Amino acid sequence: MQTTLGKKTKRKTTDLDAELIGMKQLPRGSFKSKPGATELKNCKVKVSMYIDADVLEYFRARAEQPNAAPYQTQINNELRNIMENGSPDTLRIERDLLNDKKFLKALKKKLEAV
């Protein structure tokens, strides 16, 4: 910014200014990755959502512990764990169904009819 008699005015940085301070001009959009070039797992997306206050306080309290990850990271890790491994209820139901002989016989009969 330039100052003229105590007033600040904005001045656009010129190519010469950029060259003098060692800046390089990049083509517009060159910082963006190409579609499919980055795994979604490695991309962070800003979202706005409502969660229960007690849930937020729980994760914030965990984040205050020494050497703890920030609360947003902890929430993300818990969601990823459920996404990749299923919830404990889902795993229990799956195990129960696969060990239920009556259910498996009924399923076999149903599939043979199809």
User: How many CA atoms within 13 Å lie on the side-chain side of 29?
Assistant: 2
Backbone angles phi, psi at 102, to 5 degrees: -60, -45
Instruction: Report the pLDDT averaged over residues 1-10.
Output: 56
DSSP 32: S
In a 3-state reduction of DSSP, which class is residue 16? Answer: helix
Could you tell me which residue, 4 or 28, shows the higher pLDDT?
A: 28
pTM of this prediction exceeds 0.85:
no
Token output for 53:
């206050």
Q: Helix 71-85 vs helix 53-63: angle between axes, to the nearest 10 degrees?
A: 110
pLDDT tens, residue by residue, 35-85: 777 788 878 888 899 999 999 999 999 999 999 999 999 999 999 988 888
Average pLDDT value over all residues in the chain: 82
Could you tell me which residue, 72 or 6, shows the higher pLDDT?
A: 72
